[in-house]
Amino acid sequence: MIVHVPPDLVARLREELERAGSREIGGVLVGEHIGDAEFRVVEMSVQRSGGSVACFVRRPQAHRRFLSRFFARTGKNFERYNYLGEWHSHPLFSVEPSSIDLRQMMQIVEDGPQAPHFAVLLIARLRGKCDVEIAGQAFTTHRGPLRIDLRISGRPVHDPFGPQQRTTRGKEDTSCGA
């Protein structure tokens, strides 16, 4: 599975991680299906509460409005635009999922007939002053995490979800504000 993340969302992650400091934060990822097992993250929610230095407690109710707006904006075209998964930070630890992370993601994909077919988990942290380190896994029913091919890719020129940018595959804006 390939998951593209636009540079503007990486920059937003950087800002949110800086703001949170040593406290874990997270949110929901929504995206677009752009090819066979290939997806593009188009938006993310941010939950700034519920985290400590070693734990993030996701609050699904906090993201319902975000998801409702996204689905309304995409005309409820669920085959093309849908929930991709979750993200959270590990400011003091590696970007590998903890045993709690693994259990929570499996619960999401095994949550009955309304469960998604798969869910992506991105874990991020600041490395140094400017760099954002991100790792991702995909979860499916009865199958543990599979590492995904995570790519920082510019948004299409006419993307309704973010800044108008030319596609810059594989490049990330690594500049930090002074």
Q: Closest Cα to residue 58, out of 95, 119, 100, 1?
A: 100
Q: What is the three-class DSSP state of 107?
A: helix
* pLDDT at res. 112: 84
Closest CA to 140 of 119, 113, 114: 119
Q: Which token pair is 29?
A: 């990822």
d(CA 150, CA 71) in angstroms, rounded, equals 24
Q: Going residue by residue through the chain (178 aa), what tens digit of pLDDT does each one get?
A: 999 999 999 999 999 999 999 999 999 999 999 999 999 999 999 988 776 667 677 777 778 999 999 999 999 999 999 999 999 999 999 999 999 999 999 999 998 888 899 999 999 999 987 799 999 999 998 777 999 999 999 888 778 787 633 333 333 333 344 3
Residue ranges of domains in the chain: 2-152
Domain 2-152 coded CATH 3.30.300.30: no
In this prediction, residue 169 carries a pLDDT of: 34
Tokens representing residue 37 in the block: 């097992």
pLDDT at 61: 76
Bridge partners, 127 (sequence order): 131
Residue with tokens 């407690």: 57
Query: In this predicted structure, what is the pLDDT of residue 16?
Result: 95
Of 144, 31, 16, which is closest to residue 89 (Cα–Cα)? 16
Rounded to two decimals, the pTM is 0.85
| Residues composing the chain | 178
Q: Are 3 and 84 in contact (CB under 8 A)?
A: yes
> What pLDDT sits at residue 93?
92
